[in-house]
Amino acid sequence: MARLLAFLITLLALAAAPAFAAPVDTGHLTAELMPQTQGIAPGQTIHVALRQKIDKGWHTYWRNSGDSGEPTQIAWTLPTGWKAGDIVWAAPSRQPTGPLMNYGYSDEVLLPVAVTAPADARPGEVVTLKAHASFLVCEEICVPEDAALTLDLPITAGPAPEHPKWGRPIAQALAAAPRPAGLTAAFARGGEALQLAVTGAPLKGADAADAYFFPFDGTAIDHAKPQAIERGPEGLTLTLAPGVGFQSPTPPAALAGVLVVDGRAYEISASAGALPAAAAGLGAPRAAAPAGGGSGLGLAAAALFAFLGGVVLNLMPCVFPVLAMKATSLARHADQLKAARAQGLAFLGGVLATFLALAVTLIAVRAGGAAVGWGFQLQSPPIVAGLALLMLAVALNLSGTFEIGQSLQGAGTGLASRRGLTGAFFTGALAVVVAAPCTAPFMGPAMGWALTQSAPAALVVFAALGLGFAAPFTLAAFAPGLLARLPKPGPWMESFRRLMAFPMYGAAAWLAWVLTVQAGSAALARILAAGVVLAFAAWLFGRWQKGRAAGRRPIALAAVAAAAGLLAVAAALTPGYQSVAAPSEPAAARGKLAYEPWSAERLAAARAEGRPVFVNFTAAWCVSCQVNEKVALSTDKVARAFATSNAVYLKGDWTRKDAVIEAELARHGRAGVPLYLVYGAKAGDGVILPQLLTADTVVRALEAAQSR
């Protein structure tokens, strides 16, 4: 009987005054309070949602608004004994505004709030819940708006049924709201990057391509910087740019916020500490690439692309000198098939060993938290200095200043000895070293894919790259018909050998120039002095070799030569190079095209102006980049196309280490430079241009960008 009476009271209450809210138009949104149920029983807790229907093109803000803005606020006026909880914030979306990155909502959002009735509430009565909501509503301008909201809510004897219109949407909003889900999170500061690693069952098998972390603390990270992603077997690792909070003497001990992965939102709280290995593949986060950037490749496709890229890498200008040396070696053994094959296999071994050594080093460096990619070693001034001296030593050897791998009397003749195979192995290694500044077609997607995968998969791709690079010369060594067509050994080979010294001198001079770009004019004086001492050591070593061939043993000469050589190498490799800022000369002094330094903020601002944007990610040590600059980007035709299309030219210089540029390269599925992007005047992602440019390619891309 009591249950029947309560049911009748509830029906009468609902019939007399159903839950009712009056919507309020604040100017750029409509706000109203919506109940989850048609009434509320004494002592019961239900959810009442603040619904925002936002005008097209405008947005409001999340609890952390990002770089600017203010979160939505609700001030309640409730009858005595009634209580309202905190806002259950929906997962936000990114709201970029010029160079700023904000977090908030567009179109429509429901923000539920738990409301509890007192135990002595009287069934049959109707209470009026009042709330004053404050919004900052923004498009290109921001307008503060307010709404005085009311909700008439019947008190029922028992739990009321679900609201026919808003019950299900509010339940869905509560289910989708970020909440803890058993995830384990840790963060670590490494240089200029902040790494956040998250593992747990909900992340296994999830698509992490568009994962994003929204911190609760507005000072924790630099919101405008991209977040690089790496997928691990049990989670993921994000590389974030630290905010001002981490630049204080007492940085935060915890990093809390919302992680959005594969359309689901999770509330996480990370503690400072060691990052779990299961959250990463190669150890350093990479940004997910958009379609066409290489992220969709599998192992077989990536290995095939790497093999083809290795073959094409032979055509890059940086490897011409070394390959000419190898051609000379093959010609020397044109009439000795067995020796030629041994030379070809030794060359293959040197190439594979060096490529795999580079891959292992790259994996290890990234596992230590550094943001590096293909050609990373050339971002270090001591390594550039060392390579410059190596190129100089090779050139001096080719010039005949001293000999390695053969006696003076037998230069250019005789059967390949054990030393000859060692020389072939070294030639393969040297070819890889000088090829490192180049990125060939097909290589970009393959390397970008490899560096988002596990270490074994990455090593397979690097091995395929090495096989492709060595294939033309190794196969030539096993082709009797081709060997028969090579010129026969003779005196011409010694002249050709001397001639090949000059490209190596040029390589040494180029590396010295790269060093000055990285470390200034003082570094040039340092490397030139080291080069003079090394040349003196080589000359002394050559004198010692001649004395030894004549039956003398000038030990003192050898000791002085060794000491001079060690002094030169120590002077070049000792740390202490000072990094210099990028040149700040006026645009008119930079060549035919006026460019600006790339940044995510400048790119966003240029796109907001409705202009096409051409982005050039380059480096002084990238030979392909420099060739493209001269062949395509410095032509009058391209300059006229930029003027006609009113395009903005942005240049990202990766000569020195830059985690932000590395993350942007990774976002487009690339592990190195060059990378050329053209953004349309209207919208859309950047179009990736070929790694080998022509003036016509750039002109056509700019013309298409005007209408895209």
Structural domains of the chain in order of their starting residue, each with its CATH number: 2-173 (2.60.40.1250), 184-279 (2.60.40), 299-573 (no CATH), 588-705 (3.40.30.10)
pLDDT at 459: 87
Return the closest-CA partner of residue 28 out of 142, 151, 148, 149: 142
Q: Quickly count: other Cβ atoms within 10 Å of residue 226's Cβ.
A: 20
SS3 214: strand
Instruction: Please tell me the predicted confidence (pLDDT) of residue 331.
Output: 60
pLDDT, residue 283, reads: 39
pLDDT in tens, 272-324: 887 876 666 543 334 333 434 444 557 888 888 888 888 887 776 666 656 65
Residue 250: phi, psi to the nearest 5?
Answer: -120, 80
- Nearest alpha-carbon partner for 134 in 122, 145, 150: 145
CA distance 345 to 477: 8
- Round to whole Å and give the CA distance between 481 and 575: 51
Question: What's the one-letter identity of residue 169?
Answer: P
Positions of the chain with pLDDT under 70: 1-21, 191, 277-297, 316-336, 365-379, 404-420, 436-442, 444, 448-449, 451-453, 480-490, 492-493, 553-554, 556-561, 568, 571-592, 683-685, 708
- Are the C-beta atoms of residues 234 and 200 closer than 8 Å to each other? yes
Residue 80, number of CB atoms within 10 A of its CB: 6
| C-alpha to C-alpha distance for 186 and 153, rounded to whole angstroms | 45
Measured CA to CA, the distance from residue 91 to residue 104 in angstroms comes to 8
| Closest alpha carbon to 510 in 430, 620, 435 | 620
CA-wise closest residue to 371 among 157, 589, 654 = 654
Reported pTM:
0.47
Give me the pLDDT at residue 323, please. Answer: 61
- Which residues make Cβ contacts (< 8 Å) with residue 564, sequence separation at least 6? 533, 534, 536, 537, 540
| R_g of the chain computed on alpha carbons | 34
What is the pLDDT, as a whole number, of residue 407?
37
In angstroms, rounded to a whole number, what is the distance separating the alpha carbons of residues 664 and 674? 12
